[in-house]
Chains A and B, each alone.
Chain A
Amino acid sequence: MAEKILQIRNLRVTFETPFGQVFAVRGVDLDVEEGELLGVVGESGSGKSVTFLAAIGLLSSRARVTGSVVLQGEELIGKTPQQMRSVRGRLMAMIFQDPLSALNPVHRVGKQIVEMLQSHQNLTNKQAITRAVELLDLVGIPQPEQRSNQYPHEFSGGMRQRVVIAIAIANNPKLLIADEPTTALDVTVQAQILEVIKRVQQQFGTAVVLITHDLGVIARVADRVDVMYAGRNVEQGLVDNLYDHPSHPYTRGLLSSIPQAGKDRLTPIRGFPPNMMSPPSGCAFRTRCEFAEPSCEVDIPELKVFNDLQTACLRAHQLPSFRG
């Protein structure tokens, strides 16, 4: 059994807003093993981003976080901001969706990498600059020396995202969290960026959490998958197993809704995503589930092993087999 880099137990995040409380994350349990690529999939509002923003400590003061997040044996919840700053960028790094706005427009690209290096390592300027150029080369940016002196707006979207990745891996973190890194990019560029991320994982043994709402991306690069809905996990497992025989009705719904050649009609999941200020009692998916029964209203299902997946459905063993 591989080492666990990240262990999240019963994580809850609640936001105080003028309109009321938003229960964005309602008890998430998650493990990330050393060197693996975990895909976290879910729709907007499922809590997938908030979970990891909470882990890395980047949520605003309006968020209340409880639970446990253990990174390499150290508990992160409860650390002071100063302590968290030592963790961020060194042990764990995060990249975000929009490369256009993720980079400071008035600083040269090389300088932004150097800044990351020098906050956590003791390097001279020259050493840092050399290393920055190396990193740019690593993520596949041509003519890295020249380009390190350019400004972000002189790069295309895909190139910028590569720079963002270079910054994130500068200090060789054990865990890289990528929050929808390809959503804002063209499909062809998406493939390139995923390839860079995969290469980083394999070359440096970095564990990667890839957050996305795109099932295609998951299928491409993930080792394991975690499906989230309404602030909780609903299914976890190896990617092949999940795609082949999902148990949870939501996962099944997701996979069925993918357009396929030969299929006449599209089959979306009926109903609407839940209101996170007052989510449905019991299993939050029950309002849209064709297998729901009265007991689903009462108990919130926990992840239980079924087949070779972990599923949070009271009726997992009663459901008919899945025909993709």
Chain B
Amino acid sequence: MIRYILRRLAWALPTMLIVTFLVYVALRVGTNPVESYKRSNPRVTPEKIQQYIDINGLDPNYVLGYFRWLNNFLNGNWPRSIKGSREVWPALKDAMANTLRLGIAATVVGVFFGLIFGLLASLRPGGRRDIAINTGAFVGISIPPYISAILLQLLFAVYWQRWFGSSLFPTSGVYPAGHTGFDLFLMLKFMALPTIVVAIQIVATYSRYLRSSLLDVLNSDYMRTARSKGISERRILIHHGMRNALIPIVTVAAIDFGSIVGGLIISENIFSYPGMGLYFLKSFSDGDFPLLMPWMVIIVASILFFNLIADISYAWLDPRIRLE
């Protein structure tokens, strides 16, 4: 088992390098960093331009440039944003915190309810409850998140205001403008709508996952053996059914969570929630290379890390995989 982990870790490092290199190339080709720099700072001198090229590793030779960038990155010499020379890390840190909060909340809520619904649905396949849950999940998946976001905004903010005078849930931001410090209640209030929007998708997806996985398990031969033992239905469901059905779900959940850091762009945009999504959109449209690269590194790291977690948890949960 340890060997398995070590082997996967050994792969992770070169993969990381390759992927960040590809990202580096894609960003250079796609956003044209130097031109963007010149556009944001119209009266910049040729020396400044060369400085910019140097600290960002934007050499004409992509490979050389990449390693130069990598060197600076690993040494903590992070170039500043092209707009106003802001420092990257504070902005990135805040964005990450916000998105993580939203992502974790939505994932916890979504997976929890999704699994419950999936379980309820598979207890009596084909029954009314099953059909209702299935259809609901289906609709949930088919409605793109921004549509549900808009509808929820309409309902809870705009119309609620018209009917009741003030909106139940705010539609933008993390705190009201100008607020400082930490206030749990306010934070939750502002997070409510975005969390619901994201959670809807998660609930829909996971209820279908679990239903399908559980039905597969419930129809397998060892379930028949379990039933022939005369043990209680509850024990059968939990110790045999769920124990096996959850294996693929855990791995999928780990992978999904890995991409959540960059995956909430739409919701963040609609609710003006200052997380990684908004950070990306802004810096991308500005072509702000110094802001973009660290962002991408975090995304890649998160994906690879959670892929690894997924593999490990799969091996841990399913003994058949361990003896490879």
Contacts and interface: CB of A to CB of B under 8 A. Distances in A.
Direct contact of A and B (CB under 8 A): yes
Interface of A: 56, 58, 81, 84-90, 93-96, 98, 101-107, 115-116, 119-120, 151, 153-154, 164, 167-168
Q: Which 10 A-B pairs have the closest CB atoms?
A: A88-B230, A89-B230, A101-B221, A89-B229, A104-B222, A119-B231, A85-B230, A151-B319, A94-B228, A102-B225
Interface string B297-324: 0000000000000000000011110010
B221 A167 contact: no
B199 to A, nearest CB: 30
Contacts of B240: 104
B105 interface: no
Nearest to A60: B219
B317 A119 contact: no
A322 B244 CA distance: 54
B231 A153 contact: no
Given A103-B222, A105-B222, A88 B228 contact: yes
Contact of A96 (B225, B244, B247, B323): B225
Nearest to B240: A104
Given A105-B319, A105-B320, A106-B319, A85 B231 contact: yes
A115 B221 contact: no
- Scoring B230, B231, B233 by chain A CB atoms within 10 A of each residue's CB, the highest score goes to B230
B229 A96 contact: no
Given A101-B220, A115-B229, A115-B235, 12 more contacts: A88-B228, A88-B230, A93-B229, A96-B221, A103-B222, A105-B318, A105-B320, A107-B239, A119-B231, A151-B319, A151-B320, A167-B229
A84 B229 CA distance: 10
17 contacts: A56-B228, A84-B230, A86-B230, A93-B228, A101-B221, A102-B224, A103-B222, A104-B226, A106-B243, A106-B247, A107-B243, A115-B231, A119-B231, A151-B319, A151-B320, A153-B320, A167-B225
Contact of A88 (B222, B227, B233, B239): B227
B230 A153 contact: no
Interface residues of B, number: 24
Contacts, number: 79
Give the interface SS of chain B, mostly helix, strand, loop or mixed.
helix
B241 to A, nearest CB: 10
A101 B232 CA distance: 21
A164 B226 CA distance: 11
Contacts of B317: 106
Contacts of A104: 222, 225-226, 240, 243-244
Contact of A90 (B230, B247, B320): B230
Contacts of A81: 233
Interface in B235-276: 235, 239-240, 243-244, 247
